[in-house]
Amino acid sequence: MAESPTILVIGPRWVGDMVMAQCLFSALKQLHPNAAIDVLAPAWAAPLVKRMPEIRQQIDFPLKPGALEFTHRRRFGRLLRGRYDMAYILPGSWKSALIPFFARIPRRVGNLREMRYGLLTDIVPLPDAVKRRTAQAYFGLAQGGTFRAPRLSIDAEKQAALLDRFGLQAGKFVALMPGAEFGPAKRWPSESYAGLARDFMAKGFKIALFGSKNDRDVTTEIAALAPGVVDLAGQTRLEDAIDLIGAARLAVSNDSGLMHVAAAVGTPIVAVYGSTSPQNTPPLAERRELVWLGLSCSPCHKKVCPLGHLNCLKTLEVAQVAAAADRLLEVPATA
């Protein structure tokens, strides 16, 4: 193996998974300090990857999510021939291993998953206990190094400009992330978030709602129930959200990509779980509170409640989440 290997990582397609992938990037840099690491990922991931010092560059993934497009993968792989010594394939699908194979990258590392014999040169065992623990599974592909939690960098100048633009003060507002791209079984109800927002505002905090344009229906509903909140859903780019969440006194989030962003920028986080388990994908933060009822029917890992009642989230009281937040707020904010 070269002293300065070039490494291609086939990245995941979700924000939270990309944040957790930094556990692998960090381990690879520990094992190969002079390595050049590139990430093949969707275009949306570029601003996130730029906040990871381990990565040299992000390469736009040229295909639609879920599409096989065998011929296009072969053509794209051939364009990469001779550029990389190693490849790490994070997604578990058969098709995700095709580009490194067609690129003839000498060492191709991944979990077996969809019977990828031949496509991979190094098959890393994936114990059942780790299958849903994404950060640990990614880290395990390195087969060495020390596990380190993700840490995203902050652009202080852009952060200051964004705070001024939206009328927020660092350390004086709470970030709420009420959306979840996965589905409604991960979303604490809007009326519950609104009740929590009113509780925070009564304590003197401003409230900022974060999310994509797909979360606008949810955040609009919360804003109507809690007048005075600042609804930023769909108004910020991913890099903006990183900087703004990094300035928050506290964040409260469903099990979502922005939950992992909050943890990675060092913001204390209250994470609310419903259909998923905090044992599998907790925010890797030094200061966190995990709120989960742990009903007999959960975790079901379904997008929509299979029993039709969503009790894992609907019966989670505002007071329980507020108490978790208070425990984090008891520690004075650092200057």
* Per-residue pLDDT tens over the stretch 155-186: 999 999 999 999 999 999 999 999 977 778 88
Mean pLDDT for the stretch of residues 49-57: 97
Interval 203-214: pLDDT, tens: 999 999 999 999
β partners of residue 73: none
Distances 9 to 50, 69, 152, 204 between C-alpha atoms, Å: 15, 20, 18, 45
Range of lowest pLDDT (68-82, 288-302, 303-317, 321-335): 321-335
Q: Is 6 a residue whose pLDDT tops 50?
A: yes
108 has pLDDT over 60:
yes
| In the predicted structure, residue 313 carries a pLDDT above the cut 80 | yes
Cα(292)–Cα(270) distance, rounded to whole angstroms?
11
Q: Is the alpha carbon torsion for 214, 204, 245, 288 positive or negative?
A: negative
Answer CATH for 156-329 from 3.40.190.10, 1.10.10.10, 3.40.720.10, 3.40.50.2000: 3.40.50.2000
* Residue 66 Rama label (left phi>0; alpha psi -120 to 50; beta): left
Average pLDDT over residues 277-290: 94
Looking at residue 186, the DSSP 8-state letter turns out to be: G
Residue 335's pLDDT band (cuts 50, 70, 90): very low
Average pLDDT of span 4-23: 96
Please give the pLDDT value at position 31: 96
Q: The domain at 6-140 falls in which architecture?
A: 3-Layer(aba) Sandwich (3.40)
Alpha-carbon Rg for the chain, nearest whole angstrom, is 21
Confidence of residue 67 (pLDDT cuts 50, 70, 90): confident
pLDDT at 65 over 90: no
What confidence score (pLDDT) does residue 25 get?
Answer: 98
Percent of the chain as helix, strand, coil, to the nearest 5: 35, 15, 45
Tokens standing for residue 281: 């994908």
Predicted pLDDT at 264: 98
Fold match between 6-140 and 156-329?
Answer: yes
- Distance from C-alpha of 290 to C-alpha of 255, rounded to nearest angstrom: 10
Residue type, 299: P
For the chain, domain boundaries:
6-140, 156-329
- Cβ count within 10 A of residue 329: 18
pLDDT at 1: 53
Q: How far apart are CA 174 and CA 154, in angstroms?
A: 18
pLDDT by residue (tens digit) across 192-231? 999 999 999 999 999 999 999 999 999 999 999 999 999 9
Q: Residue 254 — pLDDT band, cuts 50, 70, 90?
A: very high
Interacting residues of 36 by C-beta distance below 8 A, sequence separation 6+: 4, 5, 6, 7, 56
Once rounded to an integer, what is the mean pLDDT over residues 75-96? Answer: 95
Tokens 């992938």, located at residue: 21
